Amino acid sequence: MDFANARPNIFLLGFMGAGKTTIGKLLAAALGMHFVDLDDMIVDYHGCSINDIFSQHGEDTFRSFETQALDRVAQASNQVVSTGGGIVGRNENWPLMQRGGLTLFLECQWETIVQRLKESTDRPLVNQNSLQELNALYQLRLPLYCQADYVVQVDGLTPPEIVEAIKKLVLKD
Ligand code: S3P
């Protein structure tokens, strides 16, 4: 990918707790790009927390808000975008990310995700589902995440090491 001229967006994909926001901020700083968190965009735009959107309007409405936010963000370039873990579930989201951008899956083992999600209270799907149900969702989504242009294994690596691994991958093409 020609970063000198095109400055494509980098869309970080992965399950809840994979570290998309933490890595996204560091990666954006390291590459001199803007950082955007898609969930934060949705919250700001609709003036409502993700939990409230789910409880007041339902998941389908959230997914529509998510696609609309993705469409808006994809109009600009030079951004590292931390997406929500469910972005891969709607077919129409893929061309939005691929147009002028690349997708990168932060692959994280289930055991690591479970540890991180234990502390989570602001994720409706974590609040509403058992660990077994979340694991089923994780398994269901894995092949979708694997459609990304790049895959980086994050287990056992520090955030700076993950950023280095990503830089090597995306800057070499
Ligand atoms: C979701 C992940 C969340 C958020 C929403 C739904 C999902 O984002 O978009 O709660 O379906 O996996 P994070 O992956 O940033 O937690």
Strand-pair partners of 37: 82
Q: Which residue has the tokens 């093409």?
A: 173
Ligand 1 atom having least distance to the Cα of 124: 10
Helix axes 110-117, 131-145, angle to 10 degrees: 130
Report the predicted TM-score, pTM, of the whole model to 2 decimal places.
0.95
pLDDT over threshold 90, residue 1: no
In this predicted model, what pLDDT tens digit does every residue of 87-136 receive, in sequence order?
999 999 999 999 879 999 999 999 999 999 988 888 999 999 999 999 99
The architecture that CATH gives domain 9-172 is 3-Layer(aba) Sandwich (3.40)
DSSP 148: S
Residue 4: pLDDT over 60: no
Closest atom of ligand 1 relative to the 86 alpha carbon? 11
DSSP 137: H
Task: Tell me what percent of the chain is helix, strand and coil, each rounded to the nearest 5.
Answer: 55, 15, 30
User: Residue 18's pLDDT is what?
Assistant: 96
Confidence band (pLDDT; 50, 70, 90) for 75?
very high
Nearest CA to ligand 1 atom 8: 84
φ and ψ of 62, to 5 deg = -55, -45
141 lines ligand 1 (CB under 6 A): no
Residue 12 pLDDT > 70: yes
CA distances from 137 to 8, 36, 67, 111, 161 (A): 30, 25, 20, 14, 28
Looking at the DSSP bridge assignments, the partners of residue 150 are 104
CA atoms in the 13 A half-sphere facing the CB of 126: 17
- Confidence grade of residue 7 (pLDDT, cut at 50, 70, 90): confident
**Mean pLDDT on 154-167:** 97
Closest atom of ligand 1 relative to the 38 alpha carbon:
9
15 CA distance to ligand 1 middle (Å): 8
- Tens digit of pLDDT for each residue in 25-41? 999 999 999 999 999 99
